[in-house]
A and B are shown apart, each in its own frame.
Chain A
């Protein structure tokens, strides 16, 4: 039988070592690469197309979560992290399992077996990130950057540069000072994870940065339209108008 090809992505060498050591005992699995940051990890996954990835979350340049958000073809993922508040997000991202550091060998082998079974049976592979993504904010502090993919390039958009976010079916379009970018994510996620003092949801399909607002004008009966610094016009729903009123105290 062909060996399962795996990559270990963790920025701490001892953490990679223990996974490697545990895997040494399994003859049906091989480690084809080790990466110490999210960016290199993403490149390795794209070029080497492994079956299984052991993924840390907190890493330089790109977190494990952000990596998965921009991966189009996902291998099976086993998260290994010391941060248990990420656990729910990990499952939402279709991880096979997550391991809390430090983990016992028994627990590790269990996770690997689960992954191996899934890979062998060929089920559940390459599923798109599901709608549960934004079920709940995973951290108390708001996001500071949005990672998007443009062709083969990965861009980090600082939240400071975001003007507004527009819903587009399963995606969102992010309008920022450098242009616009499409990303698979939900409005709910951004409503909850963008800094609440800076952004307001003005419509089912729009979240806007307060500082980008130029003026708000009535539009037909009961309706309003927000005009941005850039001149863009966005509809304001009734509840959106209420949010704005609360936020801006008018």
Chain B
């Protein structure tokens, strides 16, 4: 793959009382949708804020487009949707959008026509002359999403872009993100909703308590963390399947429903061997399927204990000098 767009190199950020991000390294290749996943308080927003140069890492460094320059020098190439949304509440929607594009260096007229185009596209055309505070929260979120896009950035960083959106708008936003990737843009987004990440991400990184648990291409992650789960369905007779399930060398865990069972393979066990043993035991099989685990499952397996601990403490991602 071509040179990475975003690189975090052993980045650490400590706040009073706790370490928000702990030696995190990751690399976002160009032209992918990259998911930054983690439970609440994992350090996603802190990481993104460090990428955006809003807070400085205590250790390590952030490189954008292969350079160690401040985000502002790349301002025209980066679009950023912060976690805590904010717009000028008393400004008119169109004016606010044009202004936010202008400070990115877009000419006024261009900004205007692009803003109108986007507003129409996201179904907000009729609201362009309304004040921002007359809009619903979801609408404001879409307006802010538009603001991150107006300067046609190469890198789009979205912090929890889907939170607070209804299914229809989630769909619209998802389509837009996919469309951006098709046009060769790089998208980094954070979420704790695995279903979305699973559908969208090419690459991802799961973090918890400031540390990286796993990263890489979604397919690779599934391969390394998958292949251990087996679904077996019986057609009338289960035969001596129970005995096969009881063999610790083959099966680590079983969830037996009588006519249906979910197995977790023992380390090193081969699914084919189980199939042979089941047939030999006289069971009539209606189904034998090696399951690819959902990202959700992988996430829970990896993060579960961490998440439980993290949930016990409030998300403390405020900045302190």
A and B pair up: no
